[in-house]
Structure 1
Amino acid sequence: MRYGITGEPHHHTVCRRCGHVAALACEHLAEAAGRIEELTGLRPDASGSLLVYGRCAACVA
């Protein structure tokens, strides 16, 4: 488990192989948030949390 303090809303990416966690600013997901609203009718807000799992660049290499 990892906690951090920041003044800006953000999400996280998590590597399933090595466990590396990185912050992902909300502004980078604006297009995805718009698409979520199109698909579901739900308008995501900054108070939500999103974890994106996959493999980091180091583990892919």
Structure 2
Amino acid sequence: MTGEPHHHTACWECGGVGALDGRHPAESMKAIEELTGLRPDPSGAPLIFGRCAECVG
């Protein structure tokens, strides 16, 4: 663990969990704020759900 905020991804189908590159969370948090007006807590680690590449396959 780096102690730096980062996002995680989680696959609904297989349950796999991954971490996104450290550059992406700041960009994503800014987009969330611009789109919704919500100011995400920068110390949090959001979890993004979807289907991984293997399950989409």
TM-score, length of structure 1 as denominator length: 0.70
Please identify runs of 4+ aligned residues in structure 1 that moved more than 4 A: none
Work out the percentage of aligned pairs sharing the same amino acid: 49
* Equivalent residue pairs, number: 55
Unaligned runs of 5+ in 2: none
Higher share in strand: 1
Unaligned runs of 5+ in 1: 1-5
- Indicate the structure (1 or 2) with the bigger Cα radius of gyration: 1
TM-score, length of structure 2 as denominator length: 0.74
Say what the alpha-carbon RMSD is for the aligned residues.
Answer: 1.8
Structure showing greater relative contact order (alpha-carbon pairs closer than 8 Å, 6 or more residues apart) = 2
